[in-house]
Amino acid sequence: MPARVIVLAGPSGAGKSRLAERLEERFGWPTLRLDDFYRDHDEPGLPVIAEGANAGLVDWDDPGSWNCADALAALLDLCRTGTTDVPDYSIAQSRRTGERHLDLRGAPVFCAEGIFAPDVVAGCAEAGVLESAYCITQHPVITFGRRLQRDLREHRKPPPVLLRRGVALARAQRAVVGRAVAAGCRVSTGDAAFEEIVERWAGSRAPS
């Protein structure tokens, strides 16, 4: 395997994407956005919220709304060959809108981040490509605020849906972290994980 992967799990809005961006700026490591492997909104059999104000809507926080097999296949292809094709997914439209080519450009490590990241940890470990796995988390109030600001800025869903979903996610944050830990992720803040990774790879240079 020419490359290994750092898996970044954790609640939505906890700072996974920001950590991946900082590592790309520091080392030139590309990022595989696992959220791009969501299923299209009209795909049959999607999980649906059964109770509460959002009852009847697709439950995008259920792993059944995400294609783990495709995500893991792309990840392992990236490790083996250094390149892969991945979907472009629009969260606002709840569907794939195209495809893009991801190239490691010789980087020995890349990040894979997303809310369902714990589901790929075992497959990465079994294939021998897992560099490390973190569960990035912060206080639920901070995560709630940052997630809401991001989702409103990006027009991901109508504001009432985002607000109700944010409250539900804040209540479920402990369970999300527990699931990641059970999958083999280590709990950390984004800053602490960044410092640890930089120290480990201090001699590495960004690919030219």
pLDDT confidence bin for 206, thresholds 50/70/90: low
For 136, the token pair is 């990035």
- Structural domain harbouring 12: 4-200
For 102, the token pair is 């991801």
d(CA 66, CA 37): 6
Q: pLDDT, tens digit, for every residue of 13-50?
A: 888 999 999 999 999 999 999 999 999 999 999 999 88
For 78, the token pair is 């990236």
For 207, the token pair is 């690919």
In a domain, 130, yes or no: yes
Q: pLDDT, tens digit, for every residue of 110-167?
A: 999 999 999 999 999 999 999 999 999 877 777 777 777 777 777 777 888 778 777 7
In a domain, 19, yes or no: yes
How many domains in the chain? Answer: 1
In a domain, 65, yes or no: yes
Residue 143 has what pLDDT?
75
In a domain, 206, yes or no: no
Burial class for 164, CB neighbours closer than 10 Å (0-12, 13-18, 19+): middle
Query: pTM value?
Result: 0.84
Average pLDDT over every residue of 76-100: 94
pLDDT confidence bin for 56, thresholds 50/70/90: confident
Average pLDDT over every residue of 79-105: 94
In a domain, 208, yes or no: no
The dihedral through the CA atoms of 45, 37, 131, 177 has a sign that is negative
Residue 205 has what pLDDT?
59
Average pLDDT over every residue of 52-66: 87
In a domain, 205, yes or no: no
The CA dihedral of 82, 64, 36, 80, to the nearest 10 degrees, is 0
CATH for 62: 3.40.50.300
Q: Which secondary structure element, helix H or strand E, spans residue 31, and what is its range?
A: strand 31-33
